[in-house]
Amino acid sequence: MDALQEQTRDRLLEAAGEIFAEYGFQAATIRDICRRGKANVAAVNYYFGDKRALYIAAVERAHCNTAGLINVVWPEGWTPQQKLRVFIRQWLEQQLAEDLPSWHMRLMLREMADPTDACVKLVEAYIRPMAETLRGVIRELTPDDLAERQGWMIGFSIVSQCLFYKVHRPIAELLVGRDEYTHFNLPVIAEHITRFSLAALGQGAPVTATSSLEQMS
Amino acid sequence: MDALQEQTRDRLLEAAGEIFAEYGFQAATIRDICRRGKANVAAVNYYFGDKRALYIAAVERAHCNTAGLINVVWPEGWTPQQKLRVFIRQWLEQQLAEDLPSWHMRLMLREMADPTDACVKLVEAYIRPMAETLRGVIRELTPDDLAERQGWMIGFSIVSQCLFYKVHRPIAELLVGRDEYTHFNLPVIAEHITRFSLAALGQGAPVTATSSLEQMS
DNA sequence: AAGTGTATGAAACAATTGTTTTAATTCAAG
DNA sequence: CTTGAATTAAAACAATTGTTTCATACACTT
In chain B, whose CA is at the least distance from the CA of A164?
B160
Note whether B96 and B166 are within 8 A (CB).
yes
Domains of chain A: 2-64 (1.10.10.60), 80-216 (no CATH)
Cross-chain Cβ contact A161/B159 below 8 Å: no
Which residues of chain B, if any, have pLDDT below 70? Answer: 1-6, 64-71, 98-101, 210-217
A77 in helix, strand or coil?
Answer: coil
Spell out the long-range contacts of B141-144 with Cβ–Cβ below 8 A and sequence spacing 24 or more: B141/B80, B141/B81, B141/B84, B141/B198, B141/B201, B141/B203, B142/A208, B142/B201, B143/A208
In chain A, whose CA is at the least distance from the CA of B129?
A175
> What residues in A contact B119, CB-CB < 8 Å?
170-171, 174
In chain A, whose CA is at the least distance from the CA of B24?
A114
For chain A, 217 residues long, give each residue's pLDDT as a single digit of tens: 344 446 899 999 999 999 999 998 989 999 999 999 999 999 999 999 999 999 999 988 877 665 556 667 788 899 999 999 999 999 998 888 776 667 787 888 888 777 877 888 888 888 898 999 999 999 999 999 999 999 999 999 999 999 999 989 999 999 999 999 999 999 999 999 999 999 999 998 887 776 554 444 4
> What span, in angstroms and rounded, lies between the C-alpha atoms of B180 and A55?
30
Q: How far is B11 from chain A (nearest CA, A)?
A: 28
> What residues in B contact A149, CB-CB < 8 Å?
176, 180, 183-184, 188, 213, 217
- Nearest CA to A213 among A197, A191, A195? A191
Cross-chain Cβ contact A119/B171 below 8 Å: yes
Return residues with beta carbons within 7 A of strand D.
A 5, 7-9, 39-43, 46-47; B 1, 28-31, 41-42, 44-45, 49-52
Q: How far is B167 from chain A (nearest CA, A)?
A: 6
